[in-house]
Amino acid sequence: DAGVIQSPRHEVTEMGQEVTLRCKPISGHNSLFWYRQTMMRGLELLIYFNNNVPIDDSGMPEDRFSAKMPNASFSTLKIQPSEPRDSAVYFCASSYGGQATEAFFGQGTRLTVV
Amino acid sequence: AQRVTQPEKLLSVFKGAPVELKCNYSYSGSPELFWYVQYSRQRLQLLLRHISRESIKGFTADLNKGETSFHLKKPFAQEEDSAMYYCALNGGYNKLIFGAGTRLAVHP
């Protein structure tokens, strides 16, 4: 298994444009998480899904952010419209339910909004 | 409130010196705690979890419920230990709450 796969690895976009980040979790995992990493705030949980259902999106910063998981093998995080303060590294992670389960992280998408 | 605190942004030591990366948590209930590590240009990965009570790459961490701490220790640091270390708490549904991270720099 190639692990959690994120695309693109790097994204540079202009303010106001729509950005879509993609994630393919590890096959068989039933939980998926989106995190944002910045120097100022560290790793913040944005949203997580369990069995494709959003469980908690309280970490999503604004209505400009939305996430979907149409099936067990794919999730997207969309920012519309994007702003310079959205610049960060966005990580997707997946895990399989159980006690103290390990979360497996993707390589991340480095987003720069200019 | 569920919170993880790592008070040190940077810990700089020489090779062979002991290392302790501090982590304190706030959680009502029985906590599940982890240490994750991110080496340069690599993805974030699990280092160890308190439930396993294991030593990985010479690192150990003991859960101290009285002090609400889960400090990461290694008696003799190696240069290849240089990385970003994150303490994390299972906030339910295996949702991980991370501390701000500590960068460990081991100098020759």
Contact A94, B32 (CB under 8 A): no
Task: Tell me the pLDDT band of B28, cut-offs 50, 70 and 90.
Answer: confident
Contact A49, A32 (CB under 8 A): yes
Structure tokens at B12: 């700089």
Q: Specify whether the backbone of B74 is left (phi greater than 0), alpha (psi in -120 to 50) or beta.
A: beta
A105 touches chain B (CB under 8 A): yes
pLDDT of the residue at A33: 94
> Does residue A100 surpass a pLDDT of 90?
no
Q: Using a CB–CB cutoff of 8 Å, tell me whether A58 touches chain B.
A: no
Q: Residue B44: which of A31, A50, A91 has the nearest Cβ?
A: A91
CA distances from B49 to A41, B8, B36, B45, B70 (A): 23, 20, 9, 12, 10
Q: Which residues of B touch A46 (CB under 8 A)?
A: none
Query: Which chain B residue's Cα is nearest to A57?
Result: B95
- pLDDT tens-digit series, residues A17-49: 999 999 999 999 999 999 999 988 889 999 999
Q: Which of A31, A91, A108 sits opposite B93 (nearest CB)?
A: A31
Q: Which residues pair with B47 in a beta bridge?
A: none
pLDDT band at A102 (very low <50, low <70, confident <90, very high): confident
Give the integer Cα–Cα distance in Å for A24 and A94: 9
- State how far the Cα of B24 lies from the Cα of B42, in Å rounded to an integer: 26
Nearest C-alpha in B relative to A102: B46
CA atoms within 13 A on the CB side of A107: 11
Inter-chain residue contact A100 with B51, CB threshold 8 Å: yes
